[in-house]
Structure 1
Amino acid sequence: MKIKYINAVFPENMVDNAQIDYLPDKWSPEKIEKKLGIRTRAIAAADETSADLATRAARQLMEKHQISPESIDFLFFCTQSPDYFLPTSACMIQNNLGLPTTCGAVDFNLGCSGYIYGLAMARGMIDSGLIKKAIFVTGETYSKFIYEKDWSVRTIFGDAATASLLTSDNDTFGDDRQGILKSMNGNIGNFNLGTDGAGWENLIVPYGGMRQPTGSNEEIESDNGSIRRAGDLYMHGSKIFNFTLDTVPIAVEDVLVKNSMDLADVDLFIFHQANKHMLSALMKKCEIPSEKFYVNMVEYGNTVSNTIPIALQEVWEKGIVKKGDRIMLVGFGVGYSWGATIVTLD
């Protein structure tokens, strides 16, 4: 299976560090950028949903690269902020894009590892011959889960959506084009996938599902001085950090073995853009040279399942990578869930 093209979109409303209220005295806008590596993030409007953003990302992808709706066999949508419990948001997006009724469509609920899992599922369907072309869309509006006084997560997360065109290995669509319109032809290698549900409580939106539809809106003050409401997004930062440092290096080693590679064989590493502090620690522990470790969250923040495709699109369009390069993609986070694979540019 190949990644042919990627397109990313963002809400119009950009929020910089100076616009975040309720910061404690010791946290300045400059300190946020220095520690987290984030200067701005896009925030969805009140009436703007993940499906709206996903539709825009996919529509732009199709228009820019002259992709016929009739050629699409399947639509995948990764989101943790769907428009409704039901119907499936992917069905709405299929209708918005005018894809044929012969096109399958499905949502799946994963966060920061979602892009890797979506590639794995799509590869299984494409390699088996069940489908030939798919659009894989990621979309998140985590900002809608975040309380305005909770600066600990407001500083980190941003909203976005991406759309990727996935095809079979022998599909030549776009190969004759030049410049940034030329197809990426990112061949997907073997995968490392893993789950540790013991950490499910450490990154959670407690209210809204069937376990606890509603509850108290009392304010809760954390040890760091941030304030959230009982039902809003909660992240236990230190436990997430420790999980990541324990798990990701093992995943990196495993995916290298599964693709018959050594660390030095990888030309570029694109990890989920969690925050600068976490990525710096991972780079050091995995012994990855800094010049091979891509970081691009300064303008976007942590956009959950969108961070990897946003970065992959950037390095392709900016000419940072070239034909023959091998890129390691690693996602990790909420669940706990993680995944990794190798993309080779053909």
Structure 2
Amino acid sequence: MSEAYITRITKFLPNESVSNEEMEEYLGYINGKPSKSKAIVLRNNGIKNRFYALRKDGTPTHTNAEMAALAVQDLFKNNPAEIGEMDLLSCATSSPDQLMPSHGSMVHGYLPQADSIEVVSPSGVCCAGMHAFKYAYMAVKLGEKQKAVACASERLSTVLRSDQFEDEIQQLTRLEKNPFLAFEKDFLRWMLSDGAGAFLVEPAPNKEGISLKIDWIEGCSYANEIEACMYMGADKLEDGTLRSYKDFTAEEIQERSVLSIKQDVKLLGEKIVKLGFAKLRDILLKRGVTIADVSYFLPHLSSYFFEGKIDEFFRENGMPIPKEKWYTNLVTKGNVGAASIYMMLEEVFNSGALKKGEKILLAVPESSRFSYMFCLLTVC
């Protein structure tokens, strides 16, 4: 088998960054009033800035597929004709612009310079970006592709606008006592961000500069054990099953906010850290990797609230990671779902700080139905 390397990483962020103070100018006011829970949610998630692919009046500036294509094009900015050598396009998102055609096909449609190539569209939520990456990795590893592109993108700002939401959470006392309650509905308005990222995966490292050798990528799902936690386009029934939007009338979809993103916060608090990071502990043991081997730890966080929970788990299990090895850009980019891990790795990769031989551990938890993806990279 061939080896596989990330040789280039790019990102695309739409428009200017939006501060906490400006958010409601873009997302609107519920019932014409400022949010009463906004300050509490922002204090818990720690985000200061994010990006929206829309103007203050709600007019979209980019489609999801367009942002992904712009990130892909940027991989080839030094030689635009080279995009014609791309032989795989693997695109992920949790927020496609349409149900059909596939998201990957739409991204390909924005790339007329590309050839007629294989296109895949992994579905899911935060882990989808890692699934797209793993497909590209395996294709190169098997020797079937020579210049594979993986990308991930999100555009959720339009469904966060006030005209799409039910009444916000009003019980501030409960929010103060239990931060998990802030996640139920209103938290998503103050957390999610738009943007895209892309990796170029090749069978040989760069001749100049650094590359990232892909040592392994592993994932797991606990959907066989646990019901859905975060969902959209469905409603959760008392027995924990989901009822599809297809089984509601148009009136019911509107009344029940079936197309809004919702979170079962009780499940989130109980399961999100201990399930996935116990699995990471087992993977590292199986792979013969110790925490001491890791130079950089990049966890995808939906909120800084979970940073302490992950750190606590590591310490309790005898695998502490010093905080100076942690890296996340949640504070400046917000939660960009499937694209978050791409954006974090892009900043580290292009920082000039990496040294050959260092190892980077990626961790992507997904609360939707408790899926997790982990990856180890070596700088070369």
Q: Is the 8 A contact 2:5 2:202 kept in 1?
A: yes
Alignment partner for residue 294 of structure 1, among 301, 319, 327? 327
Matches within 5 A, 1:189-268: 189-197=215-223, 199=226, 201-206=228-233, 210=246, 212=248, 214=250, 215-218=252-255, 229-268=257-296
Q: Secondary structure at the match of 1:8?
A: strand
Alignment partner for residue 271 of structure 1, among 299, 322, 325? 299
Cα RMSD for the two superposed structures: 2.4
Matched, 1:44 2:53: yes
Q: Unmatched 5+ residue regions in structure 1?
A: 177-181, 220-228
Partner of 1:223: none
Residue 147 (structure 1) shift: 4.8
Q: Deviations over 1:18-60 (max 9, x none)?
A: 23345554653xx554421101211122432210110111112
Matches within 5 A, 1:120-159: 120-148=134-162, 149=165, 150=168, 151-159=186-194
Q: Secondary structure at the match of 1:68?
A: helix
Counting aligned pairs with the same residue, the percent is 21
Q: Deviations over 1:128-151 (max 9, x none)?
A: 111111111101112233352553
**Structure 1: distance between partners of 2:113 and 2:309:** 43
Partner of 1:93: 107
Q: Is the 8 A contact 2:364 2:374 kept in 1?
A: yes
Q: Is the 8 A contact 1:270 1:311 kept in 2?
A: yes
Q: Is the 8 A contact 2:86 2:115 kept in 1?
A: no
Alignment partner for residue 9 of structure 1, among 12, 15, 33? 12
Q: Is the 8 A contact 2:93 2:129 kept in 1?
A: no
Q: Secondary structure at the match of 1:298?
A: helix
Matches within 5 A, 1:3-82: 3-12=6-15, 14-18=17-21, 19-20=23-24, 21=29, 24-25=35-36, 27-28=38-39, 32-45=41-54, 46-47=59-60, 48-64=62-78, 68-82=82-96
How many residue pairs get matched? 326
**Structure 1: distance between partners of 2:283 and 2:215:** 9
**Structure 2: distance between partners of 1:263 and 1:41:** 31
Q: 1:201 to 1:313 in 2, by over 3 A?
A: same
Q: Secondary structure at the match of 1:269?
A: strand
Q: Is the 8 A contact 1:259 1:342 kept in 2?
A: no
Residue 321 (structure 1) shift: 2.6
**Structure 1: distance between partners of 2:305 and 2:113:** 42
Q: Secondary structure at the match of 2:363?
A: strand
Q: Unmatched 5+ residue regions in structure 2?
A: 169-185, 235-243, 315-319
Matches within 5 A, 1:149-188: 149=165, 150=168, 151-168=186-203, 171-172=204-205, 174-176=206-208, 182=209, 184-188=210-214
Q: Secondary structure at the match of 2:352?
A: coil
Structure 2 residue identity aligned to 1:11:
P
Structure 2 residue identity aligned to 1:195:
S
Partner of 1:225: none
Which protein has the larger Cα radius of gyration, Structure 1 or Structure 2? 2
Q: Secondary structure at the match of 1:80?
A: coil
Give TM-score, length-normalised by structure 1. Answer: 0.86
Q: 1:114 to 1:142 in 2, by over 3 A?
A: same
Give TM-score, length-normalised by structure 2. Answer: 0.78
